[in-house]
Amino acid sequence: MTAMTESLMKARTKAFALRTLTLIDALPDSRSSRIVAGQLGRAGTSVGANYRAVCRAKSAADMINKLTIVEEEADESAFWLEIVIERGLLPESKATDLYREAGELTAIMVASRKTLLQGNRKSKIENRK
């Protein structure tokens, strides 16, 4: 991962966390909204926090592990955003962009993890000489 890509992804995942918090603040004050807000808040802010941990990984295996966590949190965020939309807690137009971003972040983490896994397999095979 290049320093520029790392920097851009740090900014993007942080922006995702901030946008998630803004959306949560717009939710109505109800029992169901509080449940969704808590879950979405934890998952959405975890994406950025855990991506920073990816950037500090000590090895490829450590990075793969941490990318998996980011992937899971981004996907969980998408789930809670689906609940926001399908439950009608906010107009769909207010959650769609964030939902799309959760999907894109999930896809990026999946692709990054797969790339690292392929690199790890090659190096293990080459090291068996």
Instruction: Quote the pLDDT of residue 122.
Output: 53
Rounded CA-CA distance 37/25 in Å is: 8
How is domain 3-121 classified at the CATH fold level?
de novo design (two linked rop proteins) (1.20.1440)
Q: How sure is the predictor about 5, in pLDDT bands with cuts at 50, 70 and 90? A: confident
Nearby residues of 90 by Cβ (< 8 Å), 6 or more positions away: 23, 26, 27, 84
Q: Please check the confidence at residue 14 and state whether its pLDDT lies above 60.
A: yes
84-115 pLDDT, tens per residue?
999 999 999 999 999 999 999 999 999 999 99
15-68 pLDDT, tens per residue?
999 999 999 999 999 999 999 999 999 999 999 999 999 999 999 999 999 999
Write down the domain spans for the chain.
Answer: 3-121
Instruction: Quote the pLDDT of residue 48.
Output: 97
Rounded CA-CA distance 89/95 in Å is: 10
